[in-house]
Amino acid sequence: MVTGAAGQLGADLVRFATDAGDDVVVADRSTLDITDSVAVRSFIAAHRPDAIINAAAYTAVDACETNRELARAVNAAAVGSLREAADATDAHLVHVSTDYVFDGTLDRPYVENDTPNPQSVYGITKLEGERRAGQGASVVRTSWVCGEYGNNMVKLILRLAGGDAPLAFVDDQRGCPTFTADLAPALHRLASDRHAGTFHLTNAGAVSWYEFVGDILEAAGHSRSRVTSIGTADLDPPRPAPRPANGVLDNAAWRAAGHQPLRDYREPLAELVARLT
């Protein structure tokens, strides 16, 4: 069962699991309101999936600052409902979280047992969701997600590159771009193996947003010089929600479990740009 099945990650999860021969229960907003605990219990009891991958989230980071109750309902309380329903049917829960559970102040990549310290409502509610997922779940922190479906940075830059407007992106926020084409199979593996624990899962390679935009432009045949760098403090208007300056995640637990690291992000980036152009 895939929640958030209409989103960019959920859509690739459904496609990968279907191609793998699974019977996939699709749960998007039209079929299940995950903030309705009664509906969640009824839905899961009726379908009795072997595994539930929760790709649903309220990811509008700045909007979370003013829509706190909605953020808590989707990112935290709903995970508890999924956990209870999963326990009742012996389903394994895989819950997708974020680098925003960290404050971004470390001078090295974050490993799974580093102490979270979220600075935004989004990060706070996602951390609460991790805790509500329970010890038996696979909790997966990822970052800078891009895919063929939904909205993301790659699609934004490809659209902006068609015009003449100047591009300026911050060079003091660093993270790991992650592509759903690689993330979906990894989540499927955790679901199939019922591997409990916290995992960081990103494509290899860490960059600033400024550098990532340059990579996107270059992959699409544009000059990197189209983008200039600015600092977060120079954003006008300022963003309501603070971002971690360092969102780089070390995939240590994934490697320790014997899995191959996900590819360098430039490979799936080139593949995605080719599909979108």
Out of 110, 122, 210, 265, which one is annotated catalytic?
A: 122
**φ and ψ of 113, to 5 deg:** -95, 10
Q: Are 141 and 200 in contact (CB under 8 A)?
A: yes
The radius of gyration of the chain from alpha carbons, rounded to an integer in Å, stands at 18
Alpha carbon distance 88, 173 (integer Å):
42
Token pair for residue 148? 């063929």
If we measure between CA atoms, which residue out of 158, 138, 87 comes closest to residue 254? 138
- What gap in Å lies between CA 127 and CA 150, rounded to an integer? 24
State whether residue 141 is helix, strand or coil.
strand
Whether 210 sits among the annotated catalytic residues: the reply is no
Could you tell me the two tokens for 212?
Answer: 């990532």
Q: Quick one: CA torsion of 5, 30, 137, 62, rounded to 10 degrees? A: 80
Contact 254, 168 (CB under 8 A): no
Query: Could you list the active site residues?
Result: 122
